Amino acid sequence: MKNIKLYIIITILLGIFGNINAQNDMLSKKQEKIVTISAFTARGELEKLKPELVAGLEAGLTVNEIKEMLVHLYAYSGFPRSLRGLQTFMATLDERKAAGINDNWGREASPITDARDKYERGKEVLAELSGVTPSEGRTTAGYAGFSPEIETFLKEHLFADIFERDVLTYAQREMVTVSILMGIGGVEPMLNSHINLSLNVGITPVQLRQMIGIIEVNVSKENAGAAKFVLSDVLQKRGLNAENKTPEMANGVKIEKVSFHNRFYNNVAGNLYFPPNYDADKKYAAIVVGHPFGGVKEQTSGLHAQKMAELGYITLAFDATHYGESGGYPRYIESPEARVEDFSAAVDFLSNHKNVNADAIGVIGICGGGGYSVSAAQIDHRIKAIATISMYDMGRARRQGLGDAITYEQRMKTLDEIGEQRTKEFAGAARKDIAAIPTQLGPNDTENTREFFDYYRTSRGGHPNSTTSYSYTSLAPMMNFFPFAQIETISPRPLLFIVGEHAISAYFSEDAYSKAAEPKELFVVPGASHVDLYDREEYQAISLPKLNSFFKQYLK
């Protein structure tokens, strides 16, 4: 009872604090595996399917649920794909049984007791999915009039025989169907219909968008790109938005979605925040807020943009190129040059905004965004004041590891492996990705990993666009990134480094501080860890006033 009360109090405090980033409708691990199992089976990619079947079982899908998914699949991608998927699943179960693993078979489908005509039952199921009143008699328009046989098969077999089996819910079946259609591609009209049905049965825009992200990372970037346009079209026609969470107004702050291009002509997507009692005839100091490595604008950078706007600034939180809603292909690669350029592109945008004082633009860089913001300020004199929060030097972290634990020999070995991987990928091998944050915690994970997991993999800060995955070959350019090489040239513009007292990353800020010229300040938040400064109210009660006094002094 004590823990429950504590949870309620924390939830209320987060609500009062205005954490607009918490996402309670993210896909579960089971749902994520529904996407990959369905897509790989539909494409006939059995070698990729096999580990996903194992991951699905370990995530809690029962044997009968996966069987039902593979059976359901034949209606959309054919018997051959369905049968090969079932055969692969049988072999997987046999191997696990031989290894002493007894999988949960789960419940079987309930007997069908409805004795009505199957066509009428199927029509009723489709009407329920569509949210419309079933018509009387048989459908004779369109393809149904041209081929009444296929109309009968659809109603009697697909929507009666298959959909009436209650091993899967309607929402799960639509999740399977949408994943199949995205996986095979080229069926956008049918995908449009089933995205509509998905929304009708409770799958949210955020979840659909996360499903597309899974397809993009694991299956096909081209198919994911087509699916994004379909989803956007459906949501626009239904008067919805893909975020389904970001308000147009929060605590008196107006939020406007914007986009601008960087010098590579990649589109950068952002949220622009206007202070309460915004005066369209006035000019304001402005702040660019950059998100952590692996993050997106809807997380801690958006929260800081919101809070600083409440204090009277125009603020801009943006998605880095290759991430979130921003452009840049291939997706999920870490390019230090692009990340630094994005800060200058954001300054381009603000400098041309009619209500921004172009001589009073500052930046806040959080975690990895901190190192990138410092690098940007060295070459962009339009940035008049620079603050970092829990800064990470991504170059040093990739060269030497956290705590400088990686040896020179280990680094050379990694670079050799990166070179080999580039050679393979050029020849057509699948791209190798790594996840910055694990999807599940293990007994050997460090407290640092657990801290990041608690933010990125839970409703506290998790967001569908933040997969935290990136290409393995990105490690090489990251190793070659030295953000503090000319940090002394930022002077006489001021630098503020905010760190948590117990942050394992604090030495990055201490190093930058030691190399920077005046004016500079290292500000330590008592009791805070690295991630605590992302969103914890008790620590932001200290860090936010410090940020406000800093920018009020230097952005005049």
DSSP for 370-418, please give it: HHHHHHHHHH-TTEEEEEEES---HHHHHHH-TTS---HHHHHHHHHHH
Task: Identify whether the C-beta of residue 284 lies closer than 8 Å to the C-beta of residue 356.
Answer: yes
Q: Where are the alpha helices (DSSP H) in 18-142?
A: 29-43, 46-59, 63-77, 79-98, 118-130
Q: Mind listing the domains of the chain with CATH numbers?
A: 29-109+165-237 (1.20.1290.10), 249-399+480-554 (3.40.50.1820), 418-477 (1.10.10.800)
pLDDT of amino acid 138? 72
Single pTM value for the model:
0.64
pLDDT of amino acid 140? 66
How many Cβ atoms are within 10 Å of 84's Cβ, its own excluded?
A: 15
Helices (H) and strands (E) in the chain, counts: 22, 11
The number of angstroms, rounded, from the C-alpha of 326 to the middle of its chain's C-alpha atoms is 12
Distance CA 89, CA 83 (A): 10
pLDDT of amino acid 115? 80
Task: Identify whether the C-beta of residue 134 lies closer than 8 Å to the C-beta of residue 144.
Answer: no
Task: Report, as ranges of residue numbers, the positions in the chain whose pLDDT lies below 70.
Answer: 1-24, 134-137, 139-141, 143-144, 241-248
Task: Identify whether the C-beta of residue 372 lies closer than 8 Å to the C-beta of residue 358.
Answer: no
Residues 64-104 have pLDDT tens digits of 999 999 999 999 999 999 999 999 999 999 999 999 999 99
Task: Identify whether the C-beta of residue 434 lies closer than 8 Å to the C-beta of residue 472.
Answer: yes
**Mean pLDDT taken over the chain:** 90
Bridge-based pairing state of the strands 356-366 and 469-471: unpaired
